[in-house]
Amino acid sequence: MIAVVQRVSSASVTIEGKVNGKIENGFLVLLGITHQDTSEDIEWLGKKMIGLRVFGDEEGKMNLDLKTVDGNILLISQFTLHASTKKGNRPSFIEAARPEVAIPLYEKMIVFLEQELGKKIECGQFGADMKVALLNDGPVTILIDSKNRI
């Protein structure tokens, strides 16, 4: 499971002309799920994201986590994070999980994050053509791979 975590001042996702999710101050998370991912990946990655100390403290140092700043999450599924570009110019997505595997894991991630944060998180819609807008704060962008823990 791969997450691209961006610290944002604001972010939104629009589907078919309607805003599906919108946040202020928090993380826009692009989540890529592979066929090898499990509930263990969800728990590890979810805790890692929420615990990231990338928000400024009173001295301006990146020292505060999402809970401390009462931050929000906008979670977007993105199979293209598992693109392989080794051969040619057309990416291969063979490592991305098929919907029958990915959708339940994506939904479990939503539930896990809501439980850990104690509030609703905003989401995109799995498989939809989404328009994502964000104001990256910093900029701060962090890539986390649950298969690369050591």
- Rounded Cα–Cα distance for residues 61 and 34 (Å): 34
Residue 80: active-site member:
yes
Residue tagged active-site, from 34, 38, 68, 80: 80
Distance of CA 125 to the CA centre of its chain: 13
Cα angle 141-66-107, degrees, rounded to a multiple of 5: 80
Can you say whether the dihedral through the CA atoms of 20, 76, 12, 45 is positive or negative?
positive
- Rounded Cα–Cα distance for residues 22 and 74 (Å): 7
- Rounded Cα–Cα distance for residues 104 and 93 (Å): 19
- Rounded to the nearest 10°, the torsion over CA 117, 6, 108, 46 is -60
Per the CB < 8 A criterion, the answer to whether 126 and 99 are in contact is yes
Residues annotated catalytic, as ranges: 80
